[in-house]
Amino acid sequence: MIVESKNNNNNVKKTEEIAAAAADEAAVSSSSISSPATTSANNTSTSTTSVSASSASSATTTTTAVTTGGVATTTTTTTTTTDRGVAGVSYRTPLAYGTKISGKDQSKTAYNVETAIQEGFRHIVTCGHHSSNNESGVGMGLQNAYTNNNVGIERKDLFLQTCFVPFTGNKHDFLRQSSDPPEIELLTMSIEDQVHLSIKTSLRNLKTTYLDAYIFHNFRAKLYDTNEMLKAWKVFEEYVDQGIIKHLGLTSVHNAKWFEKTFFNTNNNNSTTTTTQMIPRITPTIIQNRFHSNRQYDVGAMQEIFHGTTTNNKYSKLQIQRFWILNGSSGGGRFHTELATKKGLSAAQLLLSFVMTQQETCLVGTNNLQHMKEDIVISKCYHTIFHSEQERNDYSKKLGMKQQPVGKQLPGSYNGGGGGSGSISDNPGSGSCNATTE
């Protein structure tokens, strides 16, 4: 049973207003105006003015003034077409650039994002209202990349992902944005209004009219109150309906039973969900978790989600993203440097390739140019690293995994507009994977 929010109509109105505002801002940012005038043979003059926007959003306003027999008639027509992007970059990328490491430094964040894109990253991950992210700096870096002739990309070539941080959550994660209205007391806002403000802020910060993915951020690996989260999720869905958001997801999901019950209306005794809990219309396509030895790398939870409690393909669109890969995995490979050396890789590359073979997305946030290059290289050829399933499983044991990993060696490779962070291809790549020679 779906319980509708009392504020549903108001939420929809706000959603539409924010969509229109985003389109207007995009139109103003790069508009061109022309006013050709013509005079017809029957003494009728016509003047037309049109305004066109950037590739992210095109707004055309046509004003026609007609004078016939001394009587002037003016007609104004405005047509706005918003480009919601193309499927050039999939959410199932093997590699994404996370901007958390850049923190509050706007210029540093902008530089890192532009550099990452120039090196080949096409999936950019940030977070609005998060104390360790600078979303406006990401937007600045994106704009620099768009105008950089050495990059040659447009908005549609990127997969932009940001997140919603509940305002009343952990004070260490939440950070008020400079663009937030100063007269509004954020901590007294309903969670629905928090979502509206956050999405509006993210669209402005990233200078875009749509978001490829929007993630509900759980604090410090602890799930937020489920009923409050579902209220926020309801608003998320309205933005998906409007085409402003493409994919939805959550962070820190380590409980398969909670995930099943919350999003698929199932529990241990097969009873129906109570009417006090809303059942989402749109289920997550992204789960973002730490890759950490303390949690056994979520092997058990992921096996239960993908293979245990599920007997159908309802999770076929679910993508797992991993962060803290290099500092949360028992040293990031110090016990198997020898194997990495034999394969012509760094220990970090070997570990990243292992995670990628589990069909999971690696979030990296390096500001080291050489490391960026090495990460891109491994994203192109990760499927060639482990020569057998046995070798891969032996490696997992060295990481300390007590269960076999969920994934399998993928036959496909990735392509991504000059980088290795695009969508899955049916054709496997070829050649060796040696970062020192790339």
HSE, CB side, 13 Å, CA atoms: give it for residue 160.
28
pLDDT tens-digit readout, 108-164: 999 999 999 999 999 999 988 776 778 999 999 999 999 998 888 999 999 999 999
Largest CA distance in the chain: 90
The Cα 98–Cα 393 span in angstroms is 28
* pLDDT in the model for residue 70: 58
Report whether 196 contacts 205 (CB < 8 A).
no
- Max mean pLDDT range (99-103, 270-274, 396-400): 396-400
Nearest to 401 by CA among 327, 306, 310, 296: 296
Beta carbons of 89 and 123 less than 8 angstroms apart = yes
Q: Write a three-state SS string for the chain.
A: CCCCCCCHHHHHHHHHHHHHHHHHHHHHHCCEEECCEEECCCCCEEEEEEEECCCCEEEEEEEEEEEECCEEEEEEEEEEEECCCCCCCCCCCCEEEECHHHCCCHHHHHHHHHHHHHHCCCEEECCCCECCCCHHHHHHHHHHHHHCCCCCCCHHHCEEEEEECCCCCCCCCECCCCCCCCCCCHHHCCHHHHHHHHHHHHHHHHCCCCEEEEEECCHHHCCCCHHHHHHHHHHHHHHHHCCCEEEEEEECCCCHHHHHHHHHCCCCCCCCCCCCCCCCCCCCCEEEEECCHHHHHHHHHHHHHHHHCCCCCCCCCCEEEEECCCCCCCCCCHHHHHHHHHCCCCHHHHHHHHHHHCCCEEEECCCCHHHHHHHHHHHHHHHHCCCCHHHHHHHHHHHCCCCCCCCCCCCCEEEECCEEEEEEECCCCCCCCCHHHC
Instruction: For tokens 């090495």, name the residue.
Output: 374
Assess contact for 408 and 357: CB atoms under 8 A: yes
Report how far residue 43's alpha carbon sits from residue 69's, in angstroms, rounded to the nearest whole number: 8
Q: Does the 95-421 domain belong in CATH 3.20.20.100?
A: yes
Contact by Cβ (8 Å): 345, 435: yes
Distance from C-alpha of 224 to C-alpha of 203, rounded to nearest angstrom: 24
Q: Are 165 and 173 in contact (CB under 8 A)?
A: yes
Label residue 411 by pLDDT band (50, 70, 90). very low
Q: What is the pLDDT of residues 321-373, one digit of tens each?
A: 998 888 766 544 556 788 898 899 998 999 999 999 988 999 999 999 999 99
Query: pLDDT above 70 covers what percent of the chain?
Result: 62
* pLDDT digits 0-9 by tens, 359-393: 899 999 999 999 999 999 999 999 999 998 888 88
How would residue 277 be classed by pLDDT, with cut points 50, 70 and 90?
low
pLDDT digits (tens, 9 = 90+) for 186-203: 778 899 999 999 999 999
According to the model, what pLDDT value does residue 317 have?
Answer: 84
| pLDDT value, residue 53 | 29
List the chain domain ranges. Answer: 10-82, 95-421
What is the spatial distance between Cα 153 and Cα 159, in angstroms, rounded to a whole number?
12
pLDDT of residue 188: 83
Q: Between β-strands 319-323 and 123-125, what pairing exists: parallel, antiparallel or unpaired?
A: unpaired
